[in-house]
Amino acid sequence: MSWRATLRTAFVTLMAMTAPVLAADAQKPNIVYIVSDDQGWKDVGYHGSDIRTPHIDELAQGGARLEQFYAQPFCTPTRAALMTGRYPFRYGLQTVVIASGHTYGLATDEWLLPQALKEAGYETAIIGKWHLGQGDKKYWPRQRGFDYQYGPLIGEIDYFTHEQHNVLDWFRNNQPVREKGYSTTLLGDDAVRLIENHDVAKPLYLYLAFNAPHTPYQAPQDYLDRYKNIEEPSRRAYAAMISAMDDQIGRVVAALDKKNMRDNTLIVFQSDNGGTANPMFAGEGDMSKIKIPVQNGPWRDGKGTLYEGGTRVIALANWPGHIKAGVTIDEKIHVVDMYPTLAGLAGASLAKTKPLDGLDVWGTVSDGKPSPRTEIVYNIEPFRAGVRQGDWKLIWRTPLPQAVELYNIAQDPSEKTNVAAENPDKVAALQKRANELAAAGVPPLWLTTEFAALKKRMGLPPAFPDMETLSGGEETK
């Protein structure tokens, strides 16, 4: 055989070996994961709201509405669950949120979703709110797998000054940025710019996390003018904020279309927790003169609680040709499930993760198959627990005198009738499960931090028991 024939044979063999790999890379979907902040379940057009959200509605009509999609009761825990695929009680982020003065963050020994996707060949970007640690750069997004970062690190900012407590919280790639503009519009601008400049030879993971419609309730005048029919000021501003976010989501979808990326892009949209129903959980500003504008539809209560109103959130998934259009999926899905589901679609390895709580629910999302999830863990904390198995849901408040509530969610989704007294065996079984989960967790970092600060303010001696001792837990596990 001549050297030319030998070279040709070798080339053909090499191409045959690499073609499947190249084809697999080409088929990896772009992932645009959009999160709203404190949005009420009903406060979207397709749930019957008077707030107009045509772009979100179009995604729902062209994809799947996920009507039993569960998040955590607060922002930080939900974002942590999404990033780790693990319940927040396993690493101390189960209680409330990381406050602006706190220095802890999401444990650095957790292998995060952007790290897994980056390792699988993705360009990774976060545009928007982080809220998983701002006091030490080791917790920041660029140190946790994101190639690019833009937006706030903390939980609540002024929409126009981008400040919290008169301190700027607006960054690009770890550097503070002082610029003019409404934060929702700026985040949309940046997302569009990222897509326009993206190299389509590489799959994209964009985590677009709006701070809207979290407090403070602020919107540009042109958006306020859209809702002149709403007299109550906070509801008018809240509606305007959601419409502003919806417009930016529409711009992002249009940018994907223009870049010819849309047909190979999975878009997921969800709220981070239920809408605020109690001013206590609204934010750090003065809410004494503000009427809460949020609507959670048929679900009981809202943000901060273990009831459906605090944890069952707006969610949808859209990917043309891969997810059936216009379907409603009434199957149990938890935010922790998104990690293994997205990793599976991306061909990302799970070898570096700790044991996941999440399950791959792609068959459920794409084809409406029964969910592999039979249990929902609403949260596990030293003072309360929420666990559901099948249709039975337990809410257990442990501080004395303890309170036990049991609901059949299929029969009583609004949680109006506590049937604990009539079902003692079911209560006992769910309490046993809650205790098992609690034994595998660690004390909440929020409580640990606040308790340490209290000890210092009170001048208590170092020998005085710390939070870990009082809760019966350990600092790490």
Distance CA 41, CA 423 (A): 30
> Which residue's structure tokens are 């459920």?
364
What is the torsion angle, in degrees rounded to the nearest 10, for the CA atoms of residue 176, residue 191, residue 27 and residue 356? 50
| Residues annotated catalytic, as ranges | 75, 131
Give the strands of the sheet with 123-128, arranged side by side. 175-176, 171-172, 148-151, 123-128, 204-209, 30-36, 265-271, 315-318, 64-66, 327-329
Which sign does the torsion angle of CA 223, 228, 233, 236 carry?
A: negative
Distance CA 226, CA 382 (A): 45
SS3 446: helix
How many whole angstroms from its chain centre is CA 70? 10
Which sign does the torsion angle of CA 242, 248, 253, 254 carry?
A: positive
Determine the residue type at 385.
A
Closest CA to 192 of 208, 180, 176: 208
Quick one: tokens of 330? 């009434």
How would you class 359 by CB atoms within 10 Å of its CB: exposed for 0-12, middle for 13-18, buried for 19 or more? Answer: buried
Closest CA to 329 of 373, 264, 298, 276: 373
How would you class 66 by CB atoms within 10 Å of its CB: exposed for 0-12, middle for 13-18, buried for 19 or more? Answer: buried
CB-CB contact of 348 with 31 (8 Å): no
Determine the residue type at 106.
L
Distance CA 112, CA 146 (A): 10
Closest CA to 395 of 330, 336, 308: 308
SS3 172: strand
Cβ-count burial 7-19 (b if 16+ within 10 Å, e if not): eeeeeeeeeeeee
